[in-house]
Structures are given as C-alpha cells and as structure tokens.
Copies of this chain bind each other. A is one copy, B any other.
Amino acid sequence: MPQDDPLRITLVGAGTIGLSFVALHFRYAVSLKALRLELTIHDSRPDIEEYILKTLPVYTKADITERTDVTGCFDVTLPDDRGLTRSNALIIDRDLESAVSKADIIQEQGPENAAFKTALWPKVEKHCPPGALLWSSTSGISASIQSTHMKDRSRLIVAHPWNPPLVMPLIEVVPSPYTSEKVISRTMKFWKGIGKVPVFLQQETTGFVGNRLAFALLREAIHLVNEGVASVEDIDSVMQNSLGPRWAISGPFKSYQAGGGEGGIEAFFKNIGGTVQACWEDAGKVNMGEGWEKNIYNQTNEAYGVVDTRGRDAKLLKVLDAAGHEVEESED
C-alpha cells in the first residue's frame, strides 16, 4: 500500500479482549511513527459508542474526541515515547459490510461459538479487499471449522492472544491445513513488528498449546486439592514461589537442560526419570462433573474474592520487564 494510506484494522467484537486489542493497536500506532492507523470497531451491542468512550480510557491513557465532520468517527490521541501526542482514527460501524470494505486486517473476537464464526467469515470474505488478512482470536474453534463455508479457505488463520493482549507477549498462530504460506508469513511479521511474540503451531490441536499445558497442570492441581494434600492457596503459593518465576525466564525444557548440569536434560532424566515416571503413573485423572467443583470454587472464592486485575496487570508488566521483555510503561 502507498505510504500515505493508513493501516486499516477492523475488529469484529469489542468485549474485554477486543478492547484490550484496541488499546494495543493504538499504542503501537503511536510508537511506530511511520504508521497512521484507522481502526474500525464492529460490534452488535446497542450502546457500543458509549461503552467504548467509557471503557477504552481504562485500558490506555487516550484522549478520545468525536469528529464533527463524520458520524461515528473519533480521534484517539496518545503520547509517544518522547511525550509528543499523535492522533489516529477510531470508527464505530454497525454495518459489517462497510466495516470490512477497506480493511487490511480483520480481527475477530466475537462470541466463542462455531455457528457465529462459520456464518461470519463468508460475509467478511465477500465484502473485504482481496488482500486483507483474516484473523480469529478464538481460544478453541479451529480455522478448519471456522472456514467451512468460505470460498477461499486459505485466507483464514487463528491468532490467539493471551489475556490481557495489551500486556501478554504471546500470540499463538494456528493455521488450518488450507491456510496459505503467505497468510502465515504476513501474520507472523505483523505480530513481531508490533513487539509481540507469535509462536507458530504446526498443527491444529484441541486447545492449542498454552491452554493444553495449563489444563494438564490444572488437572493435577485439582487432584491434589481433592486428595487433601494441599489447599487451593497452597497450590498457588507453590506455583508463585517456584515454577512460575522459573518458567517466566526459562520454559520446562530449558529448565531441565539447566537442571541436568553439563549433561543437560538427558542427565536430568537419567537422574530422576524414575521419579518423573512414578509421578505420571500416580497422576490424577479428574473430569468435569465429578463433584470436586464445589470444594475448589469455595476454597478459591474464600481465598481471593474478586481479583484486582488492574493491580495484577501492573505487576505482570514489572515481571515481564524483569524477565527481559520490552514492555510499554505501566499506566499506574
């Protein structure tokens, strides 16, 4: 595209994840000085304008002023790293056809059900420019399923963020078997370019990678609470005081490579492979609906009540900074 054209991103769905992306895109548009951004939000809620004007400033320090010349169009003004302010355009468009008609990127985070998504993409495909990138933020409905009714299934790819996307570096990039190489490489390039860490998955798999790993650990955690070995708070304390900080700077394989000394991970397994196998054989196999839920919910509610996510995110930024990530400054 020519230099003077803005980058046009259309977000379909502006819930918690969507608004965090809105904030992310505006922040990066300001930090990447060559870029002008025109960000369109398409969302079915009737009070969408009011909601965004009220909620977006919670995510990022932006001045939002309505343009007098165009209805539903706003100037979003943020300071860059030298403290100079720059404005980019925010458009709220209830009509899907016009919302996607000029977009370079269409990023979907609508309701997490297959019917919504499989119905959406053929409409998007019909009205968007032929080169537009089509991304779903889904945490579990594969591009294979979502693209079922599309004419050109090669265009769709999953770009699964971690909550909150404004803070968390990871984007899981998951193609369907139909997704084109060009869509994959352009998607990876975009996310790297705005400072995220896109991880490309070779295959679609239930729950992708991060959630599968988390849920495997969660299953064992529930089992240990269930068996009375440790409380909900004790399990969390174990994580916060050992594995969490360790994995924040080196994942499990790198950790065990270090744990094995000069012999690396092979020496690690040689030394304690027996204990590893014994733990695997003894591992819990709880399932949903088996009755452990009430105890877990009660203990968790008693321990934490409603979690202060603003405070958590501020801390998260500090941890990411300490772990060596380049992070935007905290708002606090």
Binding site for B on A (CB under 8 A): 16, 112, 139-140, 162-163, 168-170, 172, 197, 199-203, 205-207, 209-221, 224, 227-230, 232-254, 256-259, 261-262, 264-266, 269, 271-280, 282-283, 285-288, 293, 296-297, 299-301, 303-304, 306-307, 309, 312, 315-316, 318-325
Complex: how many Å from CA A284 to CA B236? 24
With contacts A203-B229, A243-B247 taken as known, whether A253 is within 8 angstroms of B209 at the C-beta atoms is no
Contact A236 B264 (CB under 8 A): no
Chain B residues positioned under 8 Å from A297 (CB to CB): 264-266, 269
Contact A237 B251 (CB under 8 A): yes
Contact B237 A199 (CB under 8 A): yes
Chain B residues positioned under 8 Å from A288 (CB to CB): 269, 273-274, 276-277, 280
Chain B residues positioned under 8 Å from A16 (CB to CB): 261
Contact A243 B210 (CB under 8 A): yes
Contact A279 B209 (CB under 8 A): no
Q: Which residue of B170, B216, B324 is within 8 Å of A216 (Cβ)? A: B216
Complex: how many Å from CA A310 to CA B246? 13
Contact B277 A170 (CB under 8 A): no
Contact A239 B235 (CB under 8 A): no
Q: Report the minimal beta-carbon distance from A291 to chain B, rounded to whole angstroms.
A: 13
Complex: how many Å from CA A312 to CA B235? 24
Contact A254 B300 (CB under 8 A): yes
With contacts A259-B163, A323-B245 taken as known, whether A219 is within 8 angstroms of B169 at the C-beta atoms is no
Chain B residues positioned under 8 Å from A214 (CB to CB): 217, 243, 252
- From DSSP, what is the main secondary structure of chain A's interface residues? helix
Q: Report the minimal beta-carbon distance from A321 to chain B, rounded to whole angstroms.
A: 7
Q: Which residue of B219, B247, B272, B306 is within 8 Å of A244 (Cβ)? A: B247
Chain B residues positioned under 8 Å from A301 (CB to CB): 257, 264-266
Chain B residues positioned under 8 Å from A324 (CB to CB): 315
Complex: how many Å from CA A269 to CA B89? 38
Q: Which residue of B245, B253, B322 is within 8 Å of A232 (Cβ)? A: B253
Contact A254 B304 (CB under 8 A): yes
Q: Which residue of B201, B213, B229, B256 is within 8 Å of A202 (Cβ)? A: B229
Q: List 13 A-B contacts (CB under 8 A).
A: A202-B229, A207-B279, A209-B224, A209-B235, A209-B238, A211-B275, A214-B243, A240-B247, A253-B304, A254-B307, A257-B300, A264-B304, A315-B323
